[in-house]
Amino acid sequence: MHVGVFADLEGSFGIWRMRQCKMGTAEWQYGRECLTADVNHVIQGAFDGGADKVTVKDTHEVGFNCLIRKLDSRAGYVGGHFIQPSFFGNIRDYDLVLYVAIHAASGTPDAFFPHTHYGIFSEVKINGKNVCEMEVYGGYLGDFGIPVGFVSGEEIAVEQAKTALPWIKTVVVDKNKETYTSGEKSRQYLIQGREKLRQAAAQSVQKASAMKPFILKKPLLFEAKFRTSELADRFNTWDFQQSGNAVQWSADSMIDGFDKLNKLTFFPKKIYPFRRPMLLFLRNYFRIKNTYFTPTPDSEGVLLVS
């Protein structure tokens, strides 16, 4: 069984403020330690549950957030974005995806940095329903026949994911500073929380046959509401239907709909013909930069627990 461990960052154990998620900051170096520790426990759980192969797909911003030198050496690692065979790279032989450190959907009140796919959107809808990333990415993976079997993250993010994917195993992660700055009490919380990651990941893999690909009813109507009309004007170079800050498009599949979302988000019409070499360059650039040219870590006054 080939298990994909997809990794965001905001929902990691140990993280409580946005600067810890902002690439290139000293605090982000601390956040990377937190994420890598979470991912390693999920990798261990996947193998405990019977996985033959595990590949980590780093999905936060441009990828390459995990500290590769500290990652479980049994797992492969993929950072950055792709065109073919999927946005996430070569996923066709994945049997199951475990998603670590998720966050809540755009527009979620009182959540820790809620957004869907990209921070420029105040809301993303499919067929009239405001969706979270687990519905967008889960639906995309579902069209490839790949189920999502596990998520970890802030409680509201986990609840949003469970509404769409009721079969998933979950671990809730606290986002309060006091949880991680209280000495031995915090240390025990991290140890116990990451053990829950390992256990839930193992259970998900053991019960992989009960996990279902998430299939949305077709045809699909997407609507992305930008934070401002000016952002909508700037990003909508594809002449998708637009009214103020809202942009709409139709799709016959999640693969097609997600491709159009990425056109709207990442690939202006003038750049689109050059997207392959551009993404190849960006993957190599950030792999090198985030491996060899990073700031001195800021521990945030917390005892790191891996």
**Please, are residues 49 and 206 in contact by the beta-carbon 8 Å criterion?**
yes
pLDDT at 21: 97
What's the mean pLDDT in 66-89?
Answer: 96
Q: Work out the percent of the chain whose per-residue pLDDT is above 90.
A: 96
pLDDT band at 305 (very low <50, low <70, confident <90, very high): confident
What's the mean pLDDT in 221-240?
Answer: 98
pLDDT band at 195 (very low <50, low <70, confident <90, very high): very high
pLDDT at 302: 86
Angle ∠(130,158,231) on CA atoms, nearest 5:
40
Convert the pLDDT of each residue in 267-283 to its tens digit. 999 999 999 999 999 99
- What is 2-121+131-214+272-292's CATH superfamily? Dipeptide transport protein (3.40.50.10780)
Q: How far is CA 141 from the centre of its chain?
A: 13
Answer yes or no: is pLDDT of 240 > 80.
yes
Quick one: which of 59, 234, 50 has its CA closest to 137?
Answer: 59
Answer yes or no: is pLDDT of 303 > 80.
no
Token pair belonging to 284: 């190599």
pLDDT at 220: 98
What's the mean pLDDT when you consider all of the chain?
Answer: 96
What's the mean pLDDT in 54-72?
Answer: 97
CA distance 46 to 200: 9
